[in-house]
Amino acid sequence: MMKNDDIEKVKKITRKIEGFLTEREGELLFSLAKDCKGQGVIVEIGSWKGKSTVWLAKGSKRGKKAKVYAIDPHTGSSEHQKQGEKIWTFEEFKKNIEKAKVDDIVVPIVKTSEDAAKDFEEKVGLIFIDGAHEYELVKLDLDIWFPKVIEGGIMAFHDTTCWPGPKKVVEDFVYRSKHFKNVDFIDTITIAQKVEKNSLKDRIRNNYILMLKNLFESVDRIRLPRIMRSLIKRIIKLLH
């Protein structure tokens, strides 16, 4: 069981870090990292200023203390670069990691996911993918990191309900794949456990969760008072 005071402390720290993660998503990353069995390291693709990195690292510290490899060229994604100014997030990332006292467990790799994967020899127990959001690049992240993930390891993808690229990749190659079971989603994150081959029961369940995910997303398109939408979303969550 995760201690509530742990979570409250991480919330306090991460609230001060600019980023793109809900607290529920942060708690999910914390608990996935805490549950790592120590047979593989933790990898993060896309760290920005370290918000998700801190959640992962704090969770790992409560568990088997697997290293967290934080991979990011720190020059931003296309959606950030459009703003016209030069982006360099590494200094702020380092400062936030040190301030959160997780610099002993976080290993920054200032490269793109593709470059980092070329000479990455460690086995991966958990990977969180939140780098470039274009369909081809999310698919590339899945393809190059999947072979490095251990059997039973977890792959997690951010922005799979709202961004067309990650959404389509997980729907086509995770929810409908024969190599994942226990697929689920919390807020915008989809998680899945790698298996050599899933069973028919796993595939039925994965498709059922995909149907719930589609239902969950469609609630925002219906013209209803906010309170009604949040009530329907709560009911959908109870159906997991």
Question: For residue 128, which of 59, 79, 208 has the smallest C-alpha distance?
Answer: 59
**Residue 57 near ligand SAM by CB under 6 A:** no
**Residue 74 near ligand SAM by CB under 6 A:** yes
**Residue 52 near ligand SAM by CB under 6 A:** yes
**Residue 193 near ligand SAM by CB under 6 A:** no
Per the CB < 8 A criterion, the answer to whether 95 and 67 are in contact is: no
**Residue 20 near ligand SAM by CB under 6 A:** yes
Neighbours of 201 (CB within 10 A): 9
Q: At its nearest, how many Å lie between ligand SAM and the CB of residue 114?
A: 6
How many chain residues are in contact with ligand SAM, going by CB under 6 A?
A: 23
Residue whose CB is less far from ligand SAM, 51 or 194: 51
Measure the CA–CA gap between 233 and 219, rounded to whole angstroms: 7
Residue whose CB is less far from ligand SAM, 19 or 59: 19
**Residue 131 near ligand SAM by CB under 6 A:** yes
CA distances from 51 to 11, 22, 161 (A): 10, 10, 20
Angle between helix 23-34 and 51-62 (nearest 10)? 40
Amino acid at 45: I
**With CB under 6 A as the contact rule, which of the stretches 98-106, 130-138, 179-187, 227-235 interacts with ligand SAM?**
130-138
Instruction: Give CA angle at 81 (78, 85), nearest 5°.
Output: 180
Binding residues for ligand SAM, rule: CB under 6 A, are 19-21, 45-48, 51-52, 71-77, 89, 112-113, 130-132, 137
